[in-house]
Structure 1
Amino acid sequence: MMNKHVLLCSLGLSIALHAPASRAQTSAETPGAAEAEALTDKARQLYDEGLAALNQSRWAEAHASFLAAWRIKRHYQIASNLGVAELRLGKYRDAAEHLSWYLREAPATRVTQRQRAEVLLKEALAKVASITVKTEPEGAEVTVDGAEMGRTPLALPVFLEPGQHMIQVELDGYKPAQERIEPKAGDVVGMKLYLMRRDAEAPAAAGAPGTTGPRAASEPGPAGTTGPRVASEPGPATPPETTVVPPAERSWVPAIVLGAASVVGLGVGVGMTMASNNANDEARAQSRSIQGAGGQCIEPSTAFTVRCAELNRLGAKADGLGDAAFGSYVASGVSALAALTYALWPRRAATNSTEVSVLPNVDLHGSGIIVVGAW
């Protein structure tokens, strides 16, 4: 599937900040007076340095300044810009963590900024695994590859790079528990680890020592045999003669119709995919044109309003065509499976003739087939 509106978000360099008064509508947001008072002087200085670097696309310098400010003061505006810099540097795990922190702490009134953060977080989550760790009982210390994550219940999921990781939980009075996992990029996993008290008794053995289950009793057979004696029973009475109706000759018309519908759905899917790719190419070209002219579409100036609206239209068109292509592929697969099932299904005795009607149903918002008949 196509990434929805990723182009729109990649044009902006920040999700939560307005520009200083000397610069109107940039990709960063300067805290208000009340928020600025909450930051220490040193954190504010580092934050301002990070903004300057961010607005000039100096990602490494911006990341260093924001990270230093973050270590002094954990503020949602610092988290948002730190996450943006990390995303641009390919630090997807860290970006997912700080953007998630922003969404948890930012006021609900920042509707637009939160929406942009959600789009950027989705981009980061496609590159990492999101693990929700729970324990029974709660309050256990969670470590991942030896690094402390906090105590359960954790406020946020644990974000991991693809590959092997060891998750361990410890709680006073309980035996430690651990789990080795190997998630892939984009995985969303929930896990719960159960801790046993150190003084818990081992469960009692199910059977007596030296036994593995009840003994099977058998009755000895007659001399010269090796197995138990089996009593013979009189055979069943001869059943009355019956007339067997041979299976009706199969009609291949439904299989042919379903196969044809599968081919049509496949063709429509390919066509929609090509059209969606073309729309994406146009959107990328429009995005490069806007960036080349010094514009952005997160909070566009008047000069770029029309061009950003066209970019939105192209993105929506690409998404719609992509959805239609996916629906066509699904309809093609369903038709092919139905044709195969009909061909291999056992024939029944002669009954009324088979009648099947297959009606394709494809439009821009999806596709499918309608099968009506009687077997």
Structure 2
Amino acid sequence: MRRSLHTPITAVLVVLSFTASAVAAPLPRRPPPTGPEREMLDEAKRLLDEGRLADARDIHLTLWGLTKSASDAFRVGMLSFRLHDYERAAEFLSIYFDMVGTPDAPKIWVPPGFKESYELARANFAEARRHVGALDVRASEPGAAVLVDGRQVGVSPLPRPVYVAPGQHRVIGQLAGTQIETTAAVDAGGERTVWLTFPRARAEAPAHPLVREVASRPVAAPPSTHSPALRWWTVGALATMSAALATVGALSVLEANDAAGERDAAFFWARREVFHCRPGLPACDAYADADRRTKTFTGLSVGAFVGAGLSAGGAVAAGVLLAPQAKVRVGIVGTAPGVGLSLSW
């Protein structure tokens, strides 16, 4: 018999449709600039045409603070390279690379000619990297503010190295009122890892004075909210209930045994008199009555013993939970502290 091809064909079509939808999904794109942003972009272009690179870069720095867009990071990095500000050029071009990905695998929407501009940015970054060093600052705790030469460069963990001029630099970490400071030297084109290790809070044992004689001092405990009378009444009531239920259980066992004996005797006489029991025959009625009493007293004995056990457990729990608080005494003998524990009922 030929197998139907509908199922595999349908599966292939479903897979192809999902693949096509995934491929066709648009990449994230920067929102169109607002009116003020458009004015700032026009002003930066005018300054750039006039050769005022530093002023144009300042405008793009302001836009970067507002938009955090890849295009503004690109412009700041490329203008900084033209101004020979290699530290800032390396910083913003590395940000640009992280945001856009690569020409073969872009992370965001890229305009036509992206590959050429990307390759130019890569060449400028490599040249800038020859002039600067990199500090890979790592903190032992997250959320620490990191400062290099007095300038805050981010919060730990930092996503990328900090690009600095060759030489020695001061690195500071600040976290919850604690400041860690160190210095690090790096050469042009080199990289160095800087660790900021914050101390962790530790519980310290109190120091005891050296004494020759035994010192005893009670440790204050919260006063008990339960009176002794309440505790004894509760324990007594539960213990009495346990004993009563145990007695009922024992009597029920005796009654159940007697009823079982009567049932067995009635069953014997019923079989001797008739082959099938039916209501109205004395032997059959005696058997049914004895059987009913046997089951009743058996169930009663089981329930009584279970209740007795629960009551006994409740009496013990009440005695413990309603007991006064334990008294603890701490003594110092010689140079070693000693602890004495006394429980009071």
Short-chain TM bin: 0.3 to 0.5
What TM-score results when the alignment is normalised by the length of structure 2? 0.44
Higher helix share: 2
